[in-house]
Chain A
């Protein structure tokens, strides 16, 4: 039982029940173990010196204890490297011990009601997907557009946020939700894409990139990340567009809009969409959809940026202030009262 005490000092507070690394004693004579545990037992028997150093036990203790590694496969291993394969748990000795010695963990706050605390934290971040972003695939490639307003509740914190993130010269990501989360994880995805390119001597596909991001976000599910992003790019199979969110969802599609202004943007986008738009027409459609969303949604505004992703990579097409766009679409007309007065005086 002393082993539990040793272990609990290695694990984050209050997590002992959940991440269960329990060691129980199984005698050398108990041959009838489930294969899983017996493998670990046999495995551990081969490396007594290493085990001893970790647990600070003496050789005689080892002989009398037996070890049952209850490494639950639902252990929440934070997936910090999307390129690592799901190798079996009982691989080379170094893999198992590395995983144990440097188990990813962070200090959790001590509260009476941890689950309630988690829910509150998520609720705090959730409604803040105050933004409008959209992307659609058409004949010539992918069109991506977004507004640029950042809001903290009712306070507009910035009118000039870059919500279209350049992952690499041929892939774009959009930002909706937590700005820091989106920026960091897109940057991280860019790193992984580049490593994939270097290792495999070929660019990663949009499918692969979106899957890497989705797997990372899934492994942080329930921890309060807020990300609603679209990955748009051009790869060997042509234009690609995926929607990925912090719930771990990933959808392939031709038209997406994300954010609090998305219903308004969808209205304009869906009614004006045709597959065989030209680049200018598609850009105008995207711009108009963002404008209409910023007109009605208080959490969207600023500048409507429009990007185009084609076979040679992405290119920024325009960035127009939505206030100016308003007067472009609805120029000021002289009011009817003035006109009547003019007619009366003329008669």
Chain B
């Protein structure tokens, strides 16, 4: 097995591309990130590791915009993310220049995924060590979408998804609790999913909401704290309702 994980262009006898799988491991060590699609908004959330005292937290932006109507969050190697995001931004503008129309979410996802795949089939390069969650609104139909890509270059659309650290538990939570929501409800769902794996508090969560009219908006810490407080209150109320024996005879 050790012989099949050096040059990634080589398949192992049982059909694995080990470098790609190792890249997925790198993703699993990255920050937890979640994306939820509502009927009129899409919400991205990411875990914020506490910034060092001397670090300027403004420069550590995890949720980035690719164009006015498309945003992205990734889990994995941050340096790879920077390179990929730059290429995607250029492609968004290039598309606007050649066909005088903004990209669709599917188009840019396909581009990013194609890029990630190219690096799994070239000599002497390693795959990008990140999975991305791409959200946006279709410029023609106004429908919100959420897509995920991974280091192998596969992509698909999701109603809600999570990636990075503990993504399995987040995804399980989403599968159990997902329903069609809109506006603030979608934001709450995303935060509740993140709180499953992250310490609660506005310091540790970064949330961005994208709407068709206003584009991408990062929520302030105070806003996030308020919503977290709401969620905790709701949870407490649910607990007491469960614990209290039924009053009717």
Contacts and interface: CB of A to CB of B under 8 A. Distances in A.
Contact of A88 (B90, B95, B97, B106): B90
B91 A85 contact: yes
Nearest to B90: A88
Contact of A94 (B87, B98, B104, B122): B122
A196 B95 CA distance: 12
Interface string B93-134: 011011111001011000100010011001111000000000
Interface residues of B, number: 22
B119 A92 contact: yes
A87 B140 contact: no
Contacts of A207: 99-101
A327 B196 CA distance: 86
B122 A208 contact: no
Given A204-B99, A207-B99, A87 B125 contact: no
Q: Which size class do A's interface residues fall under?
A: 20 to 34
B90 A87 contact: yes
Contacts of A85: 90-91, 94-95, 98, 111
Nearest to B95: A85
Interface in A45-98: 46-47, 50, 82, 85-88, 91-94
B99 A92 contact: no
A200 interface: yes
B100 A46 contact: no
Contact of B122 (A86, A92, A196): A92
Q: Which of A50, A88, A200 has the most CB of B within 10 A?
A: A200
A309 to B, nearest CB: 19
A93 B90 contact: no
A200 B119 CA distance: 23
A236 interface: yes
Interface in B50-95: 87, 90-91, 94-95
Given A202-B140, A208-B99, A212-B99, A94 B90 contact: no
Contact of A86 (B90, B99, B101, B119): B90
B140 A215 contact: no
A88 B90 CA distance: 8
Nearest to A88: B90
B123 to A, nearest CB: 7
> Which 8 pairs, one residue from A and one from B, show the smallest C-beta to C-beta distance?
A208-B99, A85-B94, A207-B100, A86-B94, A92-B118, A85-B91, A94-B122, A93-B122
7 contacts: A47-B124, A82-B98, A86-B90, A86-B97, A207-B99, A207-B100, A211-B98
Interface of A: 46-47, 50, 82, 85-88, 91-94, 196, 200, 202, 204-205, 207-208, 211-212, 215, 236
